[in-house]
């Protein structure tokens, strides 16, 4: 990249969902998501808008909590989640001499978390509802498949995939608000 040129990458995601507890351990949910991403080069002789990617559509999922009783320190809940989505998408190459690209994105998210009570609930005070630790791993994979192939000479150029896996560790103090 030339000196003085920077990359400006903006992403915004909006979603709304509603769920229903089928049992004490199983809940299901459905929702709608919209995502916008802009990728631009800034600096040099002029700013260049490379592309703007937008997608939106419905998703469905479920959560399940499996109680596990091993010993005093490992009694907890193994929480599992899975969701699938199908989005309509468009890539707008406003800063390049390329036609817009439309297509569908199919994706899924999955995760597992181990949730354990570290400090038992007390009568009052900061830990009136206890203190919990969580160890989790989750991720997602999305696959965009173009409706209109920009370059017929490149049959593999009509797909974009994104996969992310992340881990986390946390502490939580439940509240009765």
Model confidence pLDDT, tens digit, residues 86-99: 999 888 887 667 77
Contact assessment for residue 29 and residue 16, using Cβ atoms and an 8 Å cutoff: no
- The whole-angstrom separation of Cα 47 and Cα 33 is 30
Contact assessment for residue 62 and residue 84, using Cβ atoms and an 8 Å cutoff: no
Sign of CA dihedral 17, 21, 22, 28: positive
pTM of the model: 0.74
Model confidence pLDDT, tens digit, residues 46-65: 667 778 889 899 999 999 99
Choose the most confident range, by mean pLDDT, from 46-55, 113-122, 165-174: 165-174
Output phi, psi for 173, to 5 deg: -120, 105
């Amino acid at each position: 990249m030339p000196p003085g040129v920077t990359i400006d990458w903006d992403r915004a995601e909006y979603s709304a969902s509603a769920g229903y507890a089928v049992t004490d351990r199983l809940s299901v949910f459905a929702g709608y998501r919209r995502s916008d991403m802009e990728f631009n080069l800034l600096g040099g002789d002029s700013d260049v808008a490379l592309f703007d990617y937008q997608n939106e559509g419905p998703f469905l999922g479920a959560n399940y909590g499996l109680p596990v009783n091993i010993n005093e320190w490992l009694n907890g809940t193994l929480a599992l989640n899975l969701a699938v989505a199908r989005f309509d998408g468009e890539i707008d190459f406003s800063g390049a001499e390329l036609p817009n690209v439309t297509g569908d994105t199919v994706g899924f998210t999955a995760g597992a978390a181990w949730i354990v009570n570290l400090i038992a609930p007390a009568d009052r005070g900061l830990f009136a509802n206890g203190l919990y630790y969580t160890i989790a791993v989750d991720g997602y994979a999305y696959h965009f498949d173009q409706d209109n192939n920009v370059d017929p000479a490149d049959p593999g150029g009509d797909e974009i995939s994104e996969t992310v896996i992340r881990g986390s560790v946390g502490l939580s103090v439940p509240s009765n608000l």
